Amino acid sequence: MDIMNLVDEEYQDLSLLFKMFSDKTRLKILVALVNASLSVNALAELLDMSQSAISHQLATLKQMRLVRYLKKGKQVYYSLADDHIVSIIKMAYEHILE
C-alpha cells in the first residue's frame, strides 16, 4: 500500500472511517467491545445509555464494518470486526498522551 498515491475514493473511505472514531458514543462502544462480546442491553447498562441510542450507533458501526454480530437465541452479541480497530484506538490514545 502506497499512502502517497491514494485516489479520491480511498480518501473518502479513510474520512468515513475517522468519522466513526470522532463520535464519543461510538468510541465508548468500540472500547467496551475490546475484551468481550456484548449485547445491546449490556452495552446500554455499561455505558448508562438508552438501548435505542446504543442500537443506532451499533447499526452505524456495523455498516462501516467495525463491529460484527452473532445471534444466540433471542440475544444478539456484538464484537469488534478485527484487531485493526484496537490498534487504531491505541495509537490515537498514545498520540494524545505525547
pLDDT tens per residue, range 36-95: 999 999 999 999 999 999 999 999 999 999 999 999 999 999 999 999 999 999 999 999
Name the strand (E) or helix (H) holding 72. Answer: strand 67-72
The CATH number of the structural domain formed by 7-97 is 1.10.10.10
What are the extents of the domains in the chain?
7-97
Say if residue 27 is exposed, middle or buried (CB neighbours under 10 Å; 0-12, 13-18, 19+). Answer: middle
pTM: 0.92
CA–CA distance, 95 with 68 (Å, rounded to integer): 27
CA–CA distance, 46 with 85 (Å, rounded to integer): 20
